[in-house]
Every structure is written in structure tokens, then in C-alpha cells.
Structure 1
Amino acid sequence: QVRGRDNVGAKMDSMELEREKGITIQSAATFCDWEATMPATGEKEKYAINIIDTPGHVDFTIEVERALRVLDGAILVLCAVAGVQSQTTTVDRQMRRYNVPRISFINKMDRPGANPWRVINQIRQKLKIAAAAVQVPIGVEDDLRGVVDLVRWKAIYNQGEKGNQVVESDEIPAEALELAKEKRRELIEQLAEVDDEMGELLIMDEDPTTPQLANAIRRATTGLKFSPVFLGSAIKNTAVQPLLDGVCAYLPQPAEHKVTAHDTSLPVSAPPVELTPASAAPLVALAFKLEEGRFGQLTYMRVYQGTMRKGQFIYHARTGKKVKVPRLVRMHSNEMEDIQEIGPGEICAIFGIDCASGDT
């Protein structure tokens, strides 16, 4: 259920039917800039995040398949009450098929009956992946006020009318202290099973430093061996900001994701060429979704290498023809922002190009 208190629905659900039913039917792209607090250093760093919001309903699972082909990392969203459902296992299989690292977010922590620890056990048992909470909640159900960051060992509160004011404290509240100590130990134990450095520290009975713990989570997550679990409530805007920090800290950047392509100038039997996400390199982009828009066919593209510019001619690998980019836009749900160029790792959309899904 995504319909908000204003009875309008989520911003990313732009179709009339989506707003009427309160579900996501088609995937939608957007982007944001985020100044993240990095747990390994404690410093703030600026990131540009490209986001594709996909449906959760099993009937529209092909939309998830399309999106996962072009993603460097994903957030697996679970309900704190319902836990791992049948569609969760379907999405898990799709993530494994495309080797997409994931962090997990247990949403709806403000609902009666919310039990994140049961959900984490389900992730381990049903999805067969090592997982542990990197946060514990402060308050339960309607009294949810924030979370304790187990990596940085700080209490994070959301204050203000819409939860936009994030307040950090070095003092862990007494109600969450014992649980936080227990779950931090559990986090270290789960990491020790998949990361050699953490395993050695556990054997030597040494407590890892914050950078050691953060780096171990990142190594295990990008290595597809572990999923850090975040907790919060999207509708109350509680603990959403630490989740974005986690996206920047634990999921791979485009430069870290190994992508290969076939060079059409070489024989078919030639080994694939590894792409480098450099702006000056030759352009390589993948059309992963087609949509009939108000101005004709809208083609969603993921740029892997090089720079795509408005007005330039690009080579269509399947047809062998050169085509012109008449209009280049950046999407925010059904809204468009005209741009002049876009670089590696970014997602954009093009009008006026005749191509098929999967073309390069």
C-alpha cells in the first residue's frame, strides 16, 4: 500500500490506475543528490544516485527483471509485519541471476505487530543469504522515534513535523542499549562467517573499529555474500536518511561494477571487452526499457562508458546505422528535465530513436 495520507499516492506512481489501486505497476526512474555520512571515515561526501522504483506485485515482475539488468545495487524492501513473501523470493532469484548486490530495508516499523528480528531470520532461512541488522529501533510501533546505528554507535532521531530534522547523539537511550549491544555482536558474528578479516578478529576476541566494521560490510555486500539490514518507516520519514547513507557506503559505485561487452569490430568468437566508466571513452549504452510517451517512443538508456550528448550521432550496434540523439531527458517519474549530456553510470531517456529493448 503506497497511498499516502493525502490520498494521492506515491510520487513515483504516476499512472491513474496506480494511484487508484495504491500499487506500483510500471517501473519509474528518478535521481537525487545526497550528502552521505560515511561510516568508515565519519566524513560527509556528495553522491549522485540514480533510482529505479519497481513494482512489488508478482504480476508485474518483468519490470523488475528489466531494471535489474542495468543496476549496480538494489534495496530489497520488506514489510516488518508480513516479512518474506512469495514475491520476495522471486525478486531474490532475479537479483542472483544478474549478480546485483543488495541491502535490505524493513519498512513499516511503525505498524502494530512489527517484528524485524523475525524478518531477518526469514531472510537468512528462506533467501539463504547471511544478513544482520546494522540498526536497532528506538521505540516500537507508534512510538518509533529513530534508530541506533550499530556501526557508528550513535542514536539517530527524526524530529520535526515531517521527520526532516535528523539529530544524532553519542548517548544510546537506556531502552535500546542492551538490545543494541546484543545485535552489534550478532552483526560481527554474521560478518565473521563471510569475511576473513572479521573472522580473525572474532577468533582473537578483538572488538573491530568502526572503519573495520564498515569496510567488512562493504566487502561482503559487494561480494554478494551478505545483506546489511536497515529499519525504518517510509511514511513517517523515520530512518530513511541513514538508509541513503547505507546506499552510498555499502553498495558499489559504477566504477566498481565489472561490465563487459562484445566489440563488433572483432570476430564473434573473440573474448568480451571490459568497459571503463570514463567520460572520454567511446560511448556504450544499453536501451533497457521502451515507453510510448506523449512525444513518441521514449527509450530509457543506461550509459556504461563515454558521454552521450544532445545532437550527437551514435552507432546502433544491431542495425549498423548511425542515429542522431534529438532530445535527451532525465526522468523523475513522469516529469522530464531536458539535459545537454549525460555520463557513465547514469540513466537517461531519449526521444526519436527507433530501437528495441536490449539494443546497444
Structure 2
Amino acid sequence: PKGDTVRREAIPDDLADRAAEARAELIEVLADVDDELADIYLSGEEPSAEQLRGAVRRATLALKFTPVFMGSAFKNKGVQLLLDGVLDYLPAPNDVANTALDVAKDEEPLTLPTDASANLVALAFKLEDGKFGQLTYMRLYSGTLKKGDFITNVKSRKRVKVPRLVRMHSDDMEDITEAKAGDIVAIFGVECASGDTFTDGKVDYAMSSMHTPDPVMSLAVSPKDQSSAGNFSKALGRFQREDPTFRVHLDPDSNQTIISGMGELHLEIYIERMKREYNTDVVSGKPQVNFRETIRAPAKFDYTHKKQSGGSGQFGKVQGRLEPILTEAGLASNDVEFEVEIVGNPIPPQLIPSVEKGFREAANSGSLVGHAVQGVRFVLEDGASHVVDSNDVAFRLAAQGAFRQAYAQADPTVLEPIMAVEITAPTEFQGSVIGSINKRSGTILGSESDESDVTVNAAVPLNNMFGYSTDLRSQTQGKGEFSMVYDHHAPVTAQTQKELVTTFARKRAGKD
């Protein structure tokens, strides 16, 4: 009844001819992509079932052929054949070259051996809340993991003990004492995030990049009723562990919970999951795009912070320049850099870190729209100090004042996230799709057509993509679909910048 037993019978007479045609077509297609079967086919021999299986496996591993199975999970039909197909045709762990990143060498790629005697490298790829706490699913790429071993999280550098090791069989758990390269196991009692890499501490390898992109969109959320507050917090905590690109913080001004992610759909999915998995209805505000600020010209600063209020005061003077950092493509870099070009010791060396701290604090909020500043370098050239009144606070505030002074003169501009958008729709709607992208200030990068569909690639400001899924459905009679990923930040138009600056000034004036 559960599809455990596979019944094999002769092909009915009325389907025999169609089955023979399908087999002949399969042999022809495989002969085009597999040399061994091509030799058998050209010699006029009839390949055996074993030879066909071997050809399908070789072509599948070479990514030249994709086997498709028919069945119904609901009716439990074809399940065993699919599982047999996984074993027969898909690559075993040692058939695939796995690439790790050497963190100690600036994430230089290297090939990992699927070898149980090598150093342990394992990836936590799924988290689950169970009655015994967090259950972490882990894929072992190399080495051996034993119950009671100590393993190191490459990202957090925490060393943890493996208290319990299990092999999952659907909902059933089988306790095991060890697992080897190629195995997928689950571990209890190990706090981590999805995508974290664990090693035996002897190597510094990561299976996925340690660098996660900054979120491009934010949303204010709150539970609909206060009784759901506990589940609301629990859900947000779990989602952050599962997804490094999903961030949560509390806005200090409005006291609202803000969730941030990689787009409108990304955040909508988590709101829907809160409702479905935690029975928590969520009230959300209007999505907000995560703008950035940068400068387009260098500017000098010469700023003195002086404060006297009886007793020892505060004194700090900094001089230097603020300059833009550009990528090879001429866009504002994501970096914020601090350099020291001082000759002698006009500022005591122990107070230089205070200058850097003040600069980085000031760069967290630009003066145009209050968003973080990127692509800027603060170069400290000179300064002055006082034997009594110069301290950490004085130079931190001096750096903040110097940054604001130079920033206003450095042609500041607002940056917005640009998304790489791919739209697929029937060919007859190509004109409507391209028109809708142009209407949203997008740039068409290219398009490809086949017999029935067209794929359009474009770069579109995220701020103009709100509600696009609804528009696309109406323009294409529900047949169009699109995907988008963050690409880069680019300057907004003069009109958009004027509107954003005016809105921010009005908001700040109301707060004051």
C-alpha cells in the first residue's frame, strides 16, 4: 500500500508498439551523447538493459542527459523506481569533485578528497527544531566524524562536542557512532547557522563563502496580537540561523522590529512561514529599500574638537582628506577604509584607533538620507593633541566632525540597489515585457528566444520593482515569470535624490 512492492508485468499488447518506438528513440538519443553506446548502435547490435543503464549514468554524470521518471507521490506510484534511479544514475560522493575555500588564503579554491582518512570538513545545510533542541543536518565532504568528537565552526571559531550522532530515515532516527566522507547525518546539541562549515580544527576550510551580501530591502513587522510575541521572537531567531542573508534589528527611533533581506519575495516568504509554521499573524509596514551613500570627489578636512567645562576638558585636532574608492567598473566600492599618513607623533599613537572608530561611526549614517556610506577612504595626515585634555572621546568626536565637514564638500550622492532581473514569457508578449522594464527605468541587457518563449535579462532599480509580479501576470495572461538577484549599488537620478533628501529632512525635522 505504501509503494514498497514493485509489480512487474508484460507490456500490454495495445502499448507494445509505442513502447518499442520509445525505446528506439531512447537508444538514438543516448548514442548521440555516449561513445560506448554509439559504437553498439552503429554496429547494428541491440544494447542490453545493463548497457543502457551504463550509458544513461555516464551521460547524466557528464551533464549531457537528464533522466525523467513518472510517478505520483500522492498515490505512492513510481517511488521505488525513482529511488532505484537515484542509485543507478546519479553521482556517488566520490564521483564529484568538491571544491572548498581556504579561509587562511583569502578563500582560495581547492579540491577536497572524498576520503575518510583525510581531515574532517562538513557542511551544516539544514536546521530543524525538535523536541530535543536544534537538529542540524550535516553533509560530510571529507574525513570521519565520531560521537564525542570535538569539531570547530569555521565561521564562529567555536569548538563544540558532538553529543549525539544520528542517521535519518524519514522521521525515524538511527543512533550511530561514526560517519564517513559522503554520509549525510544529523547532530543534536550543536548551535550553528545554516551554511556553517565544521572541521576537526586542523584545517581552515569553508564549503561556502564566509562573506554574505548586505540586505537590500527592509520591512517593519510586529505580531498581530501580543499573545503571539513568544512565537514571533522564536521564529525570527530560527530564520536568522537558517539564512545568513536574513537580518533582524530593533529600530532605536521607532522601537519597531525591522527585518531585512534580499528582496520583496524573500521577506514575504518568511512572513508566510511565521503564519504557517508558528501560527503567528504578522502586521507589516511598507517595504523600504536599503539605499547607500557615497562621495564622487575628494575633499580636505581640518577639524578641531574643543570642549571646556571646568577641570579637564576635551581637545582633539585632525587634518587630512576624504576620497572616493571606485571598483574597476567605475562604481562605488563596498569598502570603507582608514589610512594614516602622519609624520611624527602630533597625535599620540594610542589615540589613532579612536580617530578610526569615530570615522567608522560617522560613516554608518550619511547626511543626505541617513543611510550607511560606502566607497570612502579617510586619510589622516596631521593633527594636534593636548597633554591633559586629549583622550579617546575627544578624538572620536573630532573624527566624526571632520568626516561631516569633508563629506558635505565631496559631492555626496545616494546609491540604490540595482537588481539583475530575468523574465521569461511567451514570445508574443516580448514587446509588453520590454516596455514594462523601460517604464521602471530598467536597462535591457539582452534577450534570447526559442520557439515559444523569450527570456529577457535586465538591470532594474529595486525601488522600481515593487508590485512587478502582479503587473507581469496581467501583461502576460499569467504566463510570465521572473527572478531577480542583487547585483550592485548605483547612483540614483537627480530627481530621485532630491525627493529622498527632502523626505529625510522632513522626517528629521518632525523628530526634532
Q: Name the TM-score, length of structure 2 as normaliser.
A: 0.35
Structure with greater Cα Rg: 2
Structure with greater contact order relative to length (CA < 8 Å, sep ≥ 6): 1
Higher helix residue share = 2
